[in-house]
Amino acid sequence: MAIWLDQASADFEQRFSAFLLTKREVSEDVNATVRAILDDVRTRGDKALHDYTLRFDRVDLATAGLAVTQAEIDAAFNVVDTSVVDALKLAAERIERHHARQMPKDDIYEDALGVGLGSRWTAIDAVGLYVPGGTAAYPSSVLMNAVPARVAGVPRVVMVVPAGGGAINPAVLVAARIAGVSEIYRIGGAQAVAALAYGTETIAPVAKIVGPGNAYVAAAKRQVFGTVGIDMIAGPSEVLVIADKENDPDWLAADLLAQAEHDVGAQSILITDDRALGEAVETAVERQLKTLSRAETAAASWRDFGAIILVDDLKASVPLANRIAAEHLELAVADPDSLMADIRNAGAIFVGRHTPEVIGDYVGGSNHVLPTARSARFSSGLSVLDFVKRTSILRLGPDQLRALGPAAITLAHSEGLSAHARSVAIRLNQG
């Protein structure tokens, strides 16, 4: 039972505003625990990793080894079905080809005064990739994080993944090799984040940490931010489907449930101008729910956060979509381009009835790490840009300094910074 919001109702604006503010995450305060673990790993290094891994993952690194060996990765290829290996290779190839187009170009030039200006891009020296253990270990996420890092030219991509109970999902190891990960360590939780940020005897520190994780991992990433860079802290996933009446309700129901099965905090929203379609989709959702492997999760998500929004005219869906700023936006309408032109806030847009969002999760080529919880209003999905940084370059000769120096001196004095003024004036023989 999703909620219904009807734009024709007098209280629509009020209800829609409240709907936008719905909190879908329980935030757990684990900061003190995490701080203690970070400090301990920083001080005791490998020894602390051994202790926490024994306690939390029940894995003895003295026998299992901290580093995952090449032989283990080779063995994983023998366990994983060939069709999965091939699908991962196809996905990696498409992700690589798409992301290669995102590589920014240096721009070094001289202006009319002869001042040399420039932006020079370099890859980050080393990146850590956190991969959760257990069922949340998605090989597709390994590709989505590691392939863009490689495309950016990051020379060292270090993966950490906990082996809860001793086993790492072999498909994750396969994905790591396909993506060109350089090193893999059998650790997880805040202790793994600490090892990546501060380094230990065995693990050299990285400069940035990316990848999803539980509340402890998220808190640890926030706490080491500054020492290293981090990616966004992702919340539960969401999809917004804008649909006209010419849709098969079963297709739309399947798309809404694909999002809902991720997490009880996930959110699936349908906007349509046809009440009958909305009702048919609702019925189809209930029917399809019965046969899902993750029916309980999907049902809870749909019940608590699902919504069907009725508009008079599909054009009215655009301003609503811009306020929702969904991670995923499907345009299941006859003329998607006319709507798309005015969409400003969305992590990714899936255009037309034959582009289910799931294609973007795996093999579309675009990245599936996208801004959640309305953050598409101000941020973007993961890309090659997250693995490079820009240095600006300024180059003046005596002539250029004579041309620009006096204005700099004026501004420095106006801001009360006399050493600033002197640093220019002294070169103009006014020091």
Check the annotation: does 328 bind a ligand. Answer: yes
Q: Of 206, 267, 190, 257, which is closest to residue 235 (Cα–Cα)? A: 267
Measure the CA–CA gap between 304 and 336, rounded to whole angstroms: 29
Check the annotation: does 362 bind a ligand. Answer: no
Check the annotation: does 216 bind a ligand. Answer: no
Check the annotation: does 99 bind a ligand. Answer: no
* Residue whose CB is less far from a second copy, 5 or 373: 373
∠ CA 53-55-58 to the nearest 5 degrees?
70
Paired strand residues for 158: 128, 183
* Residue whose CB is less far from a second copy, 222 or 245: 222
Residues in the chain: 431
> Catalytic residue among 327, 330, 357, 368, which?
327
∠ CA 423-428-431 to the nearest 5 degrees?
55
Q: Which residue has the tokens 């200006």?
A: 117
Measure the CA–CA gap between 145 and 399, rounded to whole angstroms: 47
Question: Shortest distance, CB of residue 62 to a second copy, whole angstroms?
Answer: 29
Check the annotation: does 261 bind a ligand. Answer: no
- What residue spans of 158-207 are helical by DSSP H? 170-179, 189-198
* Residue whose CB is less far from a second copy, 7 or 423: 423
Measure the CA–CA gap between 13 and 403, rounded to whole angstroms: 57
Question: Shortest distance, CB of residue 63 to a second copy, whole angstroms?
Answer: 29
Report, in this order, helix, strand and coil percent for the chain, each rounded to 5.
50, 15, 35
Asked whether 278 and 270 are in contact (CB, 8 A), the reply is yes
* Residue whose CB is less far from a second copy, 61 or 321: 321
Please say if 327 is a catalytic residue. Answer: yes
Question: Shortest distance, CB of residue 295 to a second copy, whole angstroms?
Answer: 9
Half-sphere exposure (CA, 13 Å, Cβ side) for 263? 14
Please say if 413 is a catalytic residue. Answer: no
Paired strand residues for 126: 156
* Residue whose CB is less far from a second copy, 215 or 408: 408
* Residue whose CB is less far from a second copy, 44 or 51: 44
Check the annotation: does 420 bind a ligand. Answer: yes
Measure the CA–CA gap between 271 and 4, rounded to whole angstroms: 10
Question: Shortest distance, CB of residue 209 to a second copy, whole angstroms?
Answer: 9
Check the annotation: does 413 bind a ligand. Answer: no
Q: Of 12, 95, 113, which is closest to residue 359 (Cα–Cα)? A: 95
Check the annotation: does 102 bind a ligand. Answer: no
Question: Shortest distance, CB of residue 44 to a second copy, whole angstroms?
Answer: 17
At position 72, the amino acid (one-letter code) is E
Asked whether 176 and 404 are in contact (CB, 8 A), the reply is no
Measure the CA–CA gap between 60 and 186, rounded to whole angstroms: 10
Question: Shortest distance, CB of residue 281 to a second copy, whole angstroms?
Answer: 13
> Catalytic residue among 50, 98, 99, 328, which?
328
Integer angstrom CA distances of residue 213 from 235, 297, 387, 430 = 10, 18, 19, 58
For the annotated binding site, the residues are: 130, 191, 214, 237, 259, 262, 328, 361, 415, 420
For the annotated binding site for Zn(2+), the residues are: 259, 262, 361, 420
For the annotated binding site for substrate, the residues are: 237, 259, 262, 328, 361, 415, 420
For the annotated binding site for NAD(+), the residues are: 130, 191, 214
Give me the active site residues, please.
327-328
